[in-house]
Chain A
């Protein structure tokens, strides 16, 4: 079955036909060529595919594309400003060693963004809790926590990037 849906993607209005069984991950990666959202497991267990749907971090591998209709979707591609400058979270992940192989990074950053958008003063425990569904095999998580901590102040000043 094909359905026509409309949604906001990184600030742009999108209208397209989708197959009802497609996941949002499939729509983004395979149909729209947005490769920044990664598939790490396809089962909602690793968080590499995290995107933000109406302010909530979700695993796009478990989220049907049809459910995106009339929603506001943010992906990693929408974080940097159009002038090329990185979102404070992206910059702090870069500066604090939060990125090694980088496969988990888009998901990590999106989960962090959802957290800080909602709770700009999140403490260590809240950060750990928000990232509990995002697996990283390279960093031991410590530089990732440091990245989010360092970004907190900047994000508050920046009010979370261009989509808000």
Chain B
């Protein structure tokens, strides 16, 4: 590939260095303030009462005893919620339900009290009479004609969403194919398990302007949601300030606004006092949204040489009782479906179906892990049928730089070939086939240059420099632990010839930070990074112009480095940057250095046919895994893991590795152990003992080769890497298990029980 951008070839001082996370020291000292740690004078504690049934009419609610309890300031029911206050893009979810509940998670009342203990006691005093209704918990049953309706007004359990595409001619390609393989795959509920639970603190000022502290990945969109909420409360033209404390993990869970935030707002307004709601761990399991469960029917075919001819997928998604972003994950599933490998003929149809289960949300990968599980498992099946080595099969069909995929994605940089080589090399090192041991690979494509889901995919940045050459940069981007603060600081420091400690990144307050669409789609390094870079470039231009006058040298001869401005090889022409800035400030007609930049990538919204270059660049990767399967117990042991990614340019290798390791281990949980168990809509394992995520004892050896193919549009060539680590993990594991013992598990998680059942079937 060619790169005209000279940023990509220069030597870096700060970019590319493993600089520790800027807030790590205060976190290590226990000084970081999370929502759990924030208290206000006069603050009340809010608590929420949830439904006792998966599906029931509410006959009567009596709150009189709760209201009479000393220390209780307010008790709210669905009657107290403005009629138009509804959450989610489908607007089917009031923060407290009225008349009917549709899942165990449905909120039926809320209280605000002086202490958490009083609030909890008050919940116990609320008396509710229900009339239980027949529920529906299987999305396929919910699609049947005589199924109970989750929402009668909706007339059908199938959501009115347009997830259907057909490019090329799948029927013809099927006839032309030499080999065709089909399969039915399923994925279940898993949950984010952020170590810091969800919470919000709402306060109104004397003029009914709202300040809300909230764990959110979307400060600007949350502000919009809350402004709309205020409007339903009769509070028009008010201000909403969203302050984001340090977040104890996001992973997509905080990509929408929720009942606890709306309820905190309602309680705070009712009581005229600050009200904080923080989830306990059980609530975090039962009342936050999961990854979207799916049933996937897939068929793929290739010619006799292994060239992929078509991919045909039908999918059913359990929407749960209400709608959040989980119902839009098919829009991202389209990416691997149409664009992972070269495949001209693709068809996809997805239906989101209401059930009386919990509802889903974004979770790291946004549908990509589910779709890639089916595609990459099925690719191995197809390769086997065609008699081609699975890695070679992927090489034959790999994407290339310059490709335009059937969905009109423009592939710019693409290191899929390099990733395949790196993963294979690592995996085959010292490998010899032995009983019960196998290897497997799976590839990924993900958005790496923003994702135009909303009308704007932009991010703003404001930058100011003081008299001591220290920078404050106010970014719309959100750090939730992944390290955007560092990425921003390193980019700005690089551009302005400063050190990272000279840069203060402010990313927490809508009153001072510009708009951003949110920390999603692995977009922050690329989009917020480019916003920061744009502001830094503008300031740099001013510095060079002023420096040119003071040092009597053409601006193009001047270099900013190590806090100095100088002409290389001319010791006479050099000055500390802070001195130059003071000269600029304290002189007649003086100036301060400030700049703003709004970066909106030149990616495209998808059209009605879902075509459009959603991202400015795409990240590729290949994961390989070596497993050992114990045929007596069904236990799968991960012996070795390699996760190779094409990241453009690594801005910070330390944080990059952290994203990959964390993603992979989350993906291994998805593959092997994690499942929110629901029985007729009821969460049966709402604790860390029964929800099996990987612990230190389960940790595996991971190597993470970083393939750098600098991208012409990325800041210093960088692409996004937040989500890819957990995208192809499950199919890589499933493929390795097949290689080890010849059984194909198509349902996640791949528990010992499922492995044993498959072995039994194999041996029959």
User: Residues of A at under 8 Å CB distance from B?
Assistant: 34-43, 45-46, 48, 75-77, 79-80, 86, 90-91, 93-97, 99-106, 109, 127-129, 131-145
- B664 touches A (CB below 8 Å): yes
| Residue among A48, A138, A142 making CB contact with B481, cutoff 8 Å | A138
Alpha-carbon separation in the docked complex, A22 to B465 (Å)? 49
B702 and A140 form a contact (CB under 8 A): yes
- Is A140 a contact partner of B662 (Cβ separation < 8 A)? yes
For this complex, 15 residue pairs linking A to B, each with C-beta atoms less than 8 Å apart, are A43-B281, A45-B689, A46-B195, A48-B195, A86-B25, A90-B28, A97-B18, A102-B27, A128-B697, A135-B688, A136-B696, A137-B693, A138-B658, A140-B665, A140-B702
Residues of chain B within 8 A (CB-CB) of A95 are 20
B658 touches A36 (CB 8 A): no
Inter-chain contact A137/B28, CB cutoff 8 Å: no
Q: Min CB distance, B199 to chain A, in Å?
A: 11
Q: Whose C-beta in chain A lies nearest to the C-beta of B656?
A: A97
CB–CB A100/B21 < 8 A = yes
Asked whether A93 lies within 8 Å of B24 as measured between CB atoms, the reply is: yes
Which chain A positions have C-beta within 8 A of B699? 128, 140-142, 145
Q: Is the CB of A100 within 8 A of B28?
A: no
Q: Judge if B23 is at the interface, Cβ distance under 8 Å.
A: yes
Closest chain A residue to B196, Cβ basis: A103
Cα(A41)–Cα(B279), bound, Å: 10
If over half of A's interface residues share one DSSP class (helix, strand or loop), that class is named, otherwise mixed; here it is: loop
With contact pairs A37-B30, A134-B696 given, residues A45 and B195 touching in the complex (Cβ less than 8 Å): no
Within 8 A of A (CB), among B655-700: 655, 657-658, 660-666, 687-689, 693-697, 699
Question: Are A79 and B693 also in contact (CB < 8 A) when A99-B21, A138-B249, A141-B665 are?
Answer: no
Whole-angstrom CA separation of A100 from B248 in the bound complex: 9
C-alpha gap A109/B29 in the complex (Å) = 10
Name B246's closest neighbour in chain A (CB-CB).
Answer: A102
Residues of the A chain whose Cβ atoms lie less than 8 Å from the Cβ of B665: 140-141
The answer to whether residues A94 and B28 also contact, given A45-B688, A100-B662 and a CB cut-off of 8 A, is yes
CB distance B28 to A144 under 8 Å?
no
Q: Given known contacts A41-B281, A140-B658, what 13 new A-B pairs fall within 8 Å (CB)?
A: A75-B30, A80-B29, A86-B29, A97-B21, A100-B21, A100-B658, A100-B662, A102-B32, A135-B688, A140-B662, A140-B699, A141-B694, A145-B699
Given A43-B281, A128-B696, CB of A137 within 8 Å of CB of B702? no
Q: Which residue of B lies closest to A84 (CB)?
A: B29
Q: Are A135 and B687 in contact (CB under 8 A)?
A: no
**What are the residues of chain B within 8 A of A136 when measuring CB–CB?**
195, 696
Complex Cα distance, B25 from A95, in Å, reads: 9
CA A36 to CA B33, docked complex, whole Å: 9
For B704, the closest partner residue in chain A by CB is A142
Q: Complex formed: what's the CA distance from A101 to B28 in Å? A: 11
* Distance in angstroms between the alpha carbons of A95 and B19 in the assembled complex: 8
Query: Cβ of B662 and Cβ of A42 under 8 Å apart?
Result: no
How far is it, in angstroms, between the C-alpha of A127 and the C-alpha of B697 when the chains are bound?
9
* 364-385 of chain B: CB within 8 A of chain A: none
Q: Which chain A residues border B25 with CB–CB below 8 Å?
A: 86, 90, 94
Q: Which residue of B lies closest to A79 (CB)?
A: B29
Q: Are A142 and B661 in contact (CB under 8 A)?
A: yes
| Inter-subunit contact B21/A103 (CB<8 Å) | no
B494: min CB distance to chain A, Å: 20
A101 to B34, alpha carbons, bound, how many Å? 10
Q: Tell yes or no: B123 within 8 A of A by CB.
A: no
Q: How far is the CB of A30 from chain B (nearest CB, A)?
A: 9
For A75, list chain B residues within 8 Å (CB).
30
Is the pair A139, B658 in contact by a Cβ cutoff of 8 Å?
yes
Q: Does B194 have its Cβ within 8 Å of any Cβ on chain A?
A: yes
Given contacts A129-B697, A139-B661, contact A97 B20 (CB under 8 A): yes
Contact: B24 with A94, CB < 8 Å?
Answer: yes
Contact residue among B24, B29, B251, B658 (Cβ-Cβ distance under 8 Å from A77): B29
Contact (Cβ within 8 A) B662 A137? yes
Say yes or no: A100-B482 contact (C-beta < 8 A), given A40-B281, A86-B28, A140-B664.
Answer: yes
- Distance in angstroms from B224 CB to nearest chain A CB is 25
Cβ of B275 < 8 Å from any Cβ of A? Answer: no
- Give bound CA distance, A115 to B76, whole Å: 49
B251 CB contacts on chain A under 8 angstroms: 137
B597 beta carbon closer than 8 Å to chain A: no
Question: Is B265 at the interface (CB under 8 A from chain A)?
Answer: no
| CB of B134, distance to nearest CB on chain A (Å) | 34
Contact A102 B687 (CB under 8 A): no
Contact, CB under 8 Å: A105 / B695 = no
Q: Give A76 to B687 CA distance when docked, in angstroms.
A: 25
| Distance A80 CA – B30 CA, assembled complex (angstroms) | 10
List A contacts of B27 (CB < 8 A): 99, 102, 105
Chain B residues numbered 249-280 whose CB sits less than 8 Å from any CB in chain A: 249-251, 280
Contact B20 A94 (CB under 8 A): yes
Q: How far is the CA of A97 from the CA of B661 in the complex (A)?
A: 11
